[in-house]
Each structure stands twice: as C-alpha cells, then as structure tokens.
Structure 1
Amino acid sequence: MARTRAEDFDDKRRAILRSAAAVFAEQGMEKASMARIAAQSGVSKSLLYHYYPSKAELIFSIIHTHLEELDAAIAAADDPELPPEARLRALVRAVIETYRDAADQHKVQLNAGPVLGEAEKAEILAVERRIVRRFSAVLAAVNPALGKGDGRNLMPVTMSLFGMMNWIDQWFREGGPVSRADYADLATTLILDGVRAVR
C-alpha cells in the first residue's frame, strides 16, 4: 500500500530546501553532508532521505523550485495589455522582489553544474529559457529594431538586464537608502533609456 502524504508535506519540503540551500551555500556541494542538512532543517536523516533520496536530487530540487517560483511570479506580474515599458517595469519588479532572501539558491544554482545529470540540467535550462524569452519579447516590443534582421542585439540586451538583476544580492542591503522597488525602477530605466538607442 502506498504511503500517504502528510498534510504538511509541502511546508516541510520547502523548509528543507531553504535550510539545505543555506548549508550548500556555506559549505559547498562536496563538503555539505546530508547529516548536516538534516540537522540544519530540524529533521531526522531518515526523513530527509524520505523527501530527497540523494544529494543530487536535493540540489536539483532547490534550483528547480526556485526557478519555477520565479517563473510563476513573473507570469503573474505580466500584463500584455500594458504598454511595453510599463510591462517591463512590472516584470523587473517581480524578479527583484522574488530574489529577496534567494542569495543561497543563487549560489547553489551557480555551482551545481558538476553535480547534476544531463536530464536535470536540461530541465533547469528549459525554465531559464522560458523566463528569458518573456523578457526578450517585451524588450523587442520596446524597441522593435532589436528583433529585426538577425536580431543579434536582442539576447545581449536581455542578458545585460539579467546581469543587473541576478547580482543584486552581492551589494544590496535591506534598509539601505535604496529599496528593492527603487532599484527595480532604476534598473528598468537604465535598460529602457539605453535600449531605445540600440540599432
């Protein structure tokens, strides 16, 4: 008979992922042990293995869950009825807000390559590409010249925006002179004012 899923399964799973991301970010993929992750999560090692049978599966779940949540937040913020500039501003705000407390997940994502199998890498890449395509489409609507011809400038512009967003955890401090919303508007303005000049 199949084991029934506990009512708090998803809450426990998310708590484990947050704790595991913190351990991996601090100790690295190789040094972090499942025993240390279980202790940090406040669960037994056997329960941790019940949720995640291997370290690789745990690492994949941290990254995939983070990206799926990011994709969902972006989709919820996206309103195709808005003018492209306002639409882009909403998308950037959604990303910056979703990145709150996500520094550990970013570190795991950056360093997980050697640990993951090809199938897991492909699944993560599919979500990343879905996110990037949404931004590229909006940027092309802001400046249609970006998507014309060979469209060679569209991806560099898109990834420049992601560069500004993805590295916010390296310098941003909560409670400082610039809020997350302020920075989202600043980053959007820099891209909007620059992208109109790209031909």
Structure 2
Amino acid sequence: MARTKSPNFEVQRSAILENAAQLFAQKSFPSASIAQLAELCGMSKPLLYHYYRDKSHLLFDIADTHLERLIAMVDEVAEQRLDTEAHLKALIARFMEEYATSRHHHMVLVQDVKFLEDEARRKVAEKERYVVDAFARLIAKLRPELPAEQVKPVTMTLFGMMNWTFTWFRADGPIDSAAMAEIVSQMFLHGVYSPGLPGIAPKQAETPHEHLHLPENGAA
C-alpha cells in the first residue's frame, strides 16, 4: 500500500532540494552522500527516501527546476515586446539576479549535470537549448552581419560572462546584481571602454588639429 503524502509534502520536498543543491555545490555530486543530506535536513535516511528515491533524482530536480525558472524568465521578458537591445539587456538583468540568489542551483547545473543518466541529461539539454536559442536569436537580430556559424560562439561567450560570475560575486558586496548586470550588458554590447560602464567617462571628440602638431601662435 502506497504511503500517504503529508499536507506539507511539497514544502518539505522543496526544503530538501535546497539543502541538496547546497551540499552538491559545496562537495560535488559524487562526493556528497544521502547520509550527509539527511543530517543536513534533520531527518532520517528512510524519511528522505520518501521524498526522493536517490541522489540522481535529486540532481535532476535541481537542474530541472532551475531551468524552468530561467525558461519562465525568457517567456516573461518576451511578452514585454521590447526593442532588441532592451530585450537582451532585460534578459541579462533577470538572469544575473537569478544567479545571485540561486548560486547553489546554478553551480550544480553547470558542474554536475554530466553525472546524470543519458535520458535525464537529454531532458536537461533540451531546456538549456531553449534558453540559449532565445539569446542567440536576439544577438543575431542585433548583429545581422554576423555569419551564422559565429552566432552560437558569441552567444556562449555571453553565457560565459554570466554563468561564472556566481563563482566570485556576492550580493552583499560593493555592487548589487543589477549593477553587475549593467556591467555585463555594456561590456558585451559595447566593449570594455563603453561610456555606460561605471567610472568610464565618454570619450571627448578630437579637434581637427589635435594630431597635426601645429606650431604655436600660428607661425609657419
């Protein structure tokens, strides 16, 4: 006879998932154990297995729920009907905010998905492609002169900028996630000397004689 779910089943399951993401991120998926997770959750191993059948089930759920949040952000920003550059900047801002508040989930997604079985890994990869393709379409619209084979590498360069920020960025540091997102947006769209970067003054226009080295007082 199947065990009846308690009224707070989903709440407890969510708490276990949060603890698992923290444990996997800190110790890595192969090194973390169900016993360690049960201790972190303050419950017995048999009770933990009532919520999740094994470590792989937990790993998939961490990656899948994180990607579902990212997909929801992609769809929500698309519904705003922004112009292309504003659309891309809004996505960057939303993603950077999510990464800052879900560091452990994102770390597990980036580092540990390779330990999933083939079918589970395929499902995760499909959702990752949905997210990446949304960014790639915007980049292709912004830079239509880019050869098709360069759009994906350029897109993944942007993800490299965003994805690895979580390894050092702290929300309680000197700049918040919104300011960090603006830095990423400006650097990606306009380069490191972008006037939009904090502390970078707009470049002054050169006067026609600046590089002519004319003699003083107009002497010949």
Q: 1:76 to 1:61 in 2, by over 3 A?
A: same
For 2:173 and 2:31, the matched residues in 1 are separated by 34
Gaps of 5+ in 1: 195-199
2:112 and 2:9 map into 1 onto residues whose CA distance is 25
Identity %: 39
Aligned to 1:164: 161
In structure 2, relative to structure 1, the CA distance for the partners of 1:79 and 1:50 (3 Å cut) is same
Match of 2:100 in 1: 100
Confirm or deny that 1:15 pairs with 2:25. Answer: no
1:17: Cα distance to partner?
Answer: 0.8
Q: What is the distance in 2 between the residues matched to 1:114 and 1:83?
A: 36
TM-score normalized by the length of structure 2: 0.79
Deviation (angstroms), 1:160: 0.9
Aligned to 1:174: 171
Q: TM-score, normalised by structure 1?
A: 0.86
Query: Partner letter of residue 56 of structure 1?
Result: S
Q: Distance in 1 between matches of 2:11 and 2:135?
A: 31
1:119 alignment counterpart: 119
1:3 Cα shift? Answer: 4.8
1:37 aligned partner, one-letter code: L
**Matched residue, 1:197:** none
Separation in 1 of the partners of 2:76 and 2:43? Answer: 33
- Residues 56, 116 of structure 2: 8 Å contact kept: yes
Q: Whole-Å Cα distance in 2 between the matches of residues 11 and 77 of structure 1? A: 28
Task: Write the distance in 1 (CA, Å) between the matches of 2:16 and 2:121.
Answer: 21
1:1-199 mapped onto 2 (5 Å cutoff): 3-79=3-79, 81-113=81-113, 115-146=115-146, 151-193=148-190
Higher relative contact order (CA 8 A, sep 6+): 1
How many residues are aligned here? 191
**Residue identity in the other structure for 1:57:** H
Q: Distance in 2 between matches of 1:111 and 1:167?
A: 11
In structure 2, give the amino acid aligned to 1:179.
D
In the TM superposition, what is the alpha-carbon distance from 1:114 to its structure 2 partner? 5.0
Q: Over the residues paired in the alignment, what is the CA RMSD in angstroms?
A: 1.9
Give the counterpart letter for 1:115 in structure 2: F
Q: CA deviation at 1:2?
A: 5.3
Give 1 or 2 for the bigger CA radius of gyration. 2
Distance (whole Å) between structure 1 residues aligned to residue 65 and residue 28 of structure 2: 19
Q: Report deviation, 1:173.
A: 2.0
Which residue type is aligned with residue 171 of structure 2?
A: E
**1:89, distance to aligned residue in structure 2 (A):** 0.9
Task: Between 5-14 and 18-27, report the one with greater CA deviation.
Answer: 5-14
Deviation at 1:102, TM superposition (A): 2.3
4+ long deviations beyond 4 Å: 1-4
